[in-house]
Amino acid sequence: MREFGASSLTVQKAMTLLKQDGSAVSRPGKGAFVAHHAHPDGADDFDSPEATAPVGGTTARVEALERALADAVEQIADLRARVEALETGSSERGH
């Protein structure tokens, strides 16, 4: 959230989409992780280093989401600048 200036709601929506897609899973008390569908014994081992490593195709999806988020942040910054310009212009005309 800090890196991209995203709201918590945006991050929650992204996590919901990733979970619905089957790309992420949540475990109470552990956190959210990249889903692993090919674990040899079918067990969830979220304490291993591999538990949070990207799996095939996930890296590309994460990069696409990061690009989309960066674009959204850029658009928000542009909109904020436009609003500030409008507010500054209207306050100057009001004097």
Alpha-carbon distance values, 57 to 53, 60, 63, 70, 91 (Å)? 12, 5, 10, 20, 51
| pLDDT(78) > 60 | yes
Which stretch of 7-16, 35-44, 62-71, 81-90 has the lowest confidence by average pLDDT?
35-44
For residues 83 and 95, give the distance between their C-alpha atoms in angstroms, rounded to a whole number: 19
Confidence of residue 79 (pLDDT cuts 50, 70, 90): very high
pLDDT tens-place string over residues 2-47: 877 888 888 888 888 888 888 888 888 888 888 776 555 555 555 5
CB-CB neighbours of 37 under 10 Å: 9
- Mean pLDDT (the chain, rounded): 76
> What pLDDT, on a 0 to 100 scale, did the predictor assign at position 56?
55
DSSP letter assigned to residue 26: E
**For residue 48, what is the DSSP state?**
S
Backbone angles phi, psi at 39, to 5 degrees: -70, 130
Q: What's the chain's Rg over C-alpha atoms?
A: 20
